[in-house]
Every structure is written in structure tokens, then in C-alpha cells.
Amino acid sequence: QVQLVESGGGSVQAGGSLRLSCAATAVTVGNSVVGWFRQAPGKEREGVATINGFGTTKYADSVKGRFTASRDSAKNTLYLQMSNLKPEDTAVYYCAASSFQRWRTSGLFADEYDYWGQGTQVAVSS
């Protein structure tokens, strides 16, 4: 049974940093499309970052230059390093994994993913 478990969320002031982790079981993050999404209250879930099975990354324009997605194949874990955080980054963050190695669309659409974590809250105060 596939499980994705996020950790590392919390509360920070604007300009601060956080690193989210996502430990995976029963899916090999190193060979699959994986991604990070977020959902703020009253808003739709949006794609933040994705890595395909070949190691190529993509980011939403809103986080480019501030967020870095990575993975550790030995630990079967995804990471999202978030720097220069802004109040508008406040949301529940989810990791996701696909059964595929290649992006079927852009990699930043939720429909592309088969497995989801339970989410971790990130709150950024001004």
C-alpha cells in the first residue's frame, strides 16, 4: 500500500525558511513523477513543484527562485526547501506521486497524480 507522509510544516515569519519532507513507501520516488502542491483556505489546490523520473524539475512561477524540490532515492524521500517565505505561501502543503516516469501533462496538475500525502500546514506571518 502506497503511503506518503509529510513533515516539516510550521509557523515562520516572512523571509524565513522551512524544509518539508515526504517519506514514501511502496512507490519509488526516484523513478516516478513526484510533486508538491498547496491549498490555501477558499482556494483550489495548486501545483508548486514537480520532478519527473529523469530528475528534471519544474516550478510554479510564484515560487521560482525561492523553492527547491529534491529527492533522496536512498531514503525514498522528497523534500521541498522553501526560502524567502511570504504570507501568500500560507497553505496546507501536500506531496504526491504518480505511477508514471514521465509527465503526462505539465506535472503541476493534480489530476496527473495517483497518490497523496495527508498534508502539512505552513503559516507565514508578516
pLDDT at 54: 96
- Residue length of the chain: 126
Q: Cell 529527492 identifies what position?
A: 71
pLDDT at 56: 97
Spatial separation of the C-alpha atoms in residues 60 and 91, rounded to whole Å = 15
Confidence tier at 5 by pLDDT (50, 70, 90): very high
Q: Which three cell numbers stand for residue 81?
A: 526547501
Predicted confidence (pLDDT) per residue in 30-86, tens digit: 999 999 999 999 999 999 999 999 999 999 999 999 999 999 999 999 999 999 999
Q: Measured over all CA atoms, what is the biggest interatomic distance in the chain, rounded to whole angstroms?
A: 40
Q: Cell 509557523 identifies what position?
A: 11
Are residues 108 and 50 in contact, defined by beta-carbon separation less than 8 angstroms? yes
Helix (H, G, I), strand (E, B) or coil at 88: helix
- CB atoms under 10 Å from CB of 28, counted, come to 13
